[in-house]
Structure 1
Amino acid sequence: MKLLYPTSLELRPDAFTLPGVSALPYDVAAPLPAAHEDAEVLVTWGNSAEMLRGAAARMTRLQWVQSLAAGPNDVLKAGFPAHVRVTSGSGLHDHTVAEHTLGLLLVAARRFHEMRDAQRQRRWPGHLGGLQPDRPKGAFRTLQDARVLIWGFGSIGQRLAPLLTMLGAEVRGVARSAGERAGFPVFAADALPELLPETDALVMILPSSPETRHALSAALLAHLPRHAWVVNVGRGDTLDEGALVAALQQRRLGGAALDVFETEPLPESSPLWALENVIISPHAAGGRPQGAEALIRDNVARFLAGEPLRNLVAR
């Protein structure tokens, strides 16, 4: 079996090459060489859309694409035939995205962004220091006793939730079905109108799909308290950006910390850049898949044995 792995990530092929497998590197930004078009397995990470479309058209023996992204939308849009199985990198980004999200929440609560702005102006922001209320009502100023709602309570959310509870937050999740996951109460999305008014920080970790487009709509934003913050580390199109901008400009929300956007890079014309109650990070939460070689090796072994692959994506 011939497997192609990307040079966009430092991978050790000896860590996933099993007997009978030939592993060869390729450039994700260049057209696939004709000599590689006979490969049965393609591992992707940061591939250009043009490269993926070319691979979909010319790799006639391809049977399986292993994406290292948590959401392999680029692969799904490339036009690979229906018989080609696609597996995701779900689980490889849990720690980094959870850590980044925790950082965004702490910045928002402790107002580090305002302090940084004041520092650049050589201005002492006295209202941010000195005597402060401990846990003021109607404000998001600490994770202690904060009510955090995680919409998209998958592996990343389950990694984040214990970090928040260690800092004193009350965590609830929203997923496709209600129940309990990893010891946390989880509600279905139809409960959002009741949950949002009791939320200090809404964390969105939704994947991109036709069903999740603008899931956080103007109508749902209106249910959040005026002091609440919205944090999005999932996909940009799951949030109605125009409705969010209006709510922020009208001070109907405390603020937003955004790592993903409907258009990336975020255009210079976006009003989000100028809003003081917005924190922007450049799709930086993930980008560092951890444990990629172990996932590839496990799935290669499963593929050779004819067993179900991990993280198989429904198509």
Structure 2
Amino acid sequence: MKVLIPSSIVITLPDDSRYDVVTYDPRSPIVDEHCDAEVLVVWGNTRSQLADCAQRLGGLRWIAALSAGVDVIEAAGFAAGVVITNARGLHDGPVAEHTLMLVLAVVRRFDVMVLAQRDKRWARELGGVQPVGIQRGQSGAVARLGTLRDARVTVWGFGSIAQRLAPMLTALGAEVTGVARSAGVRGGYRVVSSADVVETLKDTDVLINVLPATAHTENVIDQAVLDVLPAHAWLINVGRGATVDEAALCAALHAGAIGGAALDVFAWEPLPESSPLWDAPNLMITPHAAGGRPEGVSEFLRENLVRYVEGRALQNVVPQ
């Protein structure tokens, strides 16, 4: 059995006579002699390379994605019987860190400070004596929240990343509520169902979107959601770009209908130079930088490879 490992990441696997490990370039077509591979590990592959794999790897049985989201893989055209696993859990720490960075940047308007430094301007509106506590219903050119203490933070998509992030926000004084398909308690946090999210959104200061891209989540953050949010609220998206109606968001930002947004993911990446998002007010953009650093990859793959060769259930199988 042949296992194709991408050269885009260092993976250490033990010698095992049950499988043959071959390294490949995830930006180039697989060479003919390795098109008989049964397992394909995916990390940093281009769309065209994945489409080529879908056409030429006729014996493929399992795709081990090292990303949490697999929408690009699903769109490549692989046969219906090919099992796809993702790296759910391996990105929790890095994504939670990046999200926390965006939350703090939003609250203190670090973006405005950086621009002021570039212009050699002392940003008096952000320094010195400031109002105490979370700022709601404020007016002025600089939309800011001031502090996380008592801020109402809603995290939509309350999976493992959100449960890693929530205690960080709690430690800084925020009140965290999760949103998922079904209501309940997860990791000690109250979770409301997505069907009943409206009442929660009405009192939200920061809405963090960690949703994956699925048929059920496409443009779920739409004009209706943005209309419900308070005028001072900020949206942070570290899930998938397809989950946000970017046209509606851009319109809301220009109209001042929400406080602002911080986006790490977009419907099309890299974000085209022609995108109106670049010029939208009160918008921070990061280049899909939240993840990109999966932790514990070698250990995770070792376990799943053993499960595969022994015919046992794989971890993190993506439902089809």
Compute the TM-score of the two structures, normalised by the length of structure 1. 0.96
Cα offset, 1:123, TM superposition: 0.8
Among candidates 175, 198, 204, match of residue 199 of structure 1:
204
**Which residue of the partner structure matches residue 7 of structure 2?**
7
Quick one: distance in 2 between partners of 1:290 and 1:185? 28
Whether the 8 Å contact between 1:18 and 1:301 is mirrored in structure 2 is no
Deviations 1:246-296 (A, max 9, x none): 111111111100001112121222222223411110111111111111111
Quick one: distance in 2 between partners of 1:311 and 1:157? 17
Judging changes above 3 Å, is the alpha-carbon distance between structure 1 residues 60 and 272 closer, same or farther for their aligned structure 2 residues? Answer: closer
Cα offset, 1:12, TM superposition: 2.1
Matches within 5 A, 1:164-179: 164-179=169-184
Runs of 4+ in 1 over 3 A off after TM superposition: none
**What residue ranges of structure 1 are gaps of 5+ in the alignment?**
none
Quick one: distance in 1 between partners of 2:19 and 2:155? 41
Among candidates 22, 32, 47, match of residue 24 of structure 1:
22
Among candidates 78, 94, 97, match of residue 96 of structure 1:
94
SS at match of 1:126: coil
**Which residue of the partner structure matches residue 60 of structure 1?**
58
Quick one: distance in 2 between partners of 1:21 and 1:225? 56
Judging changes above 3 Å, is the alpha-carbon distance between structure 1 residues 136 and 22 closer, same or farther for their aligned structure 2 residues? Answer: closer
Matches within 5 A, 1:226-305: 226-305=231-310
Quick one: distance in 1 between partners of 2:11 and 2:310? 23
Deviations 1:192-227 (A, max 9, x none): 110101100000011111211110110111110111
Identity of aligned residues (%): 50
SS at match of 1:128: coil
Deviations 1:100-146 (A, max 9, x none): 00000000101111111111111111111111111144152211111
Among candidates 127, 130, 134, match of residue 128 of structure 2:
130
Whether the 8 Å contact between 1:7 and 1:26 is mirrored in structure 2 is yes
Deviations 1:60-109 (A, max 9, x none): 22211101010111221122212211101111111111100000000010
Compute the TM-score of the two structures, normalised by the length of structure 2. 0.95
Whether the 8 Å contact between 1:95 and 1:156 is mirrored in structure 2 is yes
Whether the 8 Å contact between 2:134 and 2:148 is mirrored in structure 1 is no
Deviations 1:128-183 (A, max 9, x none): 11111111441522111110000001111111001100111100100111111111
Quick one: distance in 2 between partners of 1:131 and 1:90? 44
**Which residue of the partner structure matches residue 142 of structure 2?**
none
Quick one: distance in 1 between partners of 2:46 and 2:110? 36
Indicate the RMSD between aligned Cα atoms, in angstroms.
1.2
SS at match of 1:42: strand
**Which residue of the partner structure matches residue 39 of structure 2?**
41
Aligned residues: 313
Q: Is 2:167 the counterpart of 1:162? A: yes
Whether the 8 Å contact between 1:104 and 1:257 is mirrored in structure 2 is yes
**What residue ranges of structure 2 are gaps of 5+ in the alignment?**
139-144
**Which residue of the partner structure matches residue 49 of structure 2?**
51
**Which residue of the partner structure matches residue 71 of structure 2?**
73
**Which residue of the partner structure matches residue 182 of structure 1?**
187
Amino acid at match of 2:160: S
Quick one: distance in 2 between partners of 1:266 and 1:30? 23
SS at match of 1:79: coil
Deviations 1:224-243 (A, max 9, x none): 01110000001111011111
Whether the 8 Å contact between 2:184 and 2:190 is mirrored in structure 1 is yes
Whether the 8 Å contact between 2:155 and 2:179 is mirrored in structure 1 is yes
SS at match of 1:220: helix
Judging changes above 3 Å, is the alpha-carbon distance between structure 1 residues 23 and 253 closer, same or farther for their aligned structure 2 residues? Answer: same
Amino acid at match of 1:143: L
**Which residue of the partner structure matches residue 216 of structure 2?**
211
Quick one: distance in 2 between partners of 1:307 and 1:135? 53
Cα offset, 1:19, TM superposition: 4.1
Quick one: distance in 1 between partners of 2:282 and 2:215? 29
Quick one: distance in 2 between partners of 1:78 and 1:141? 44
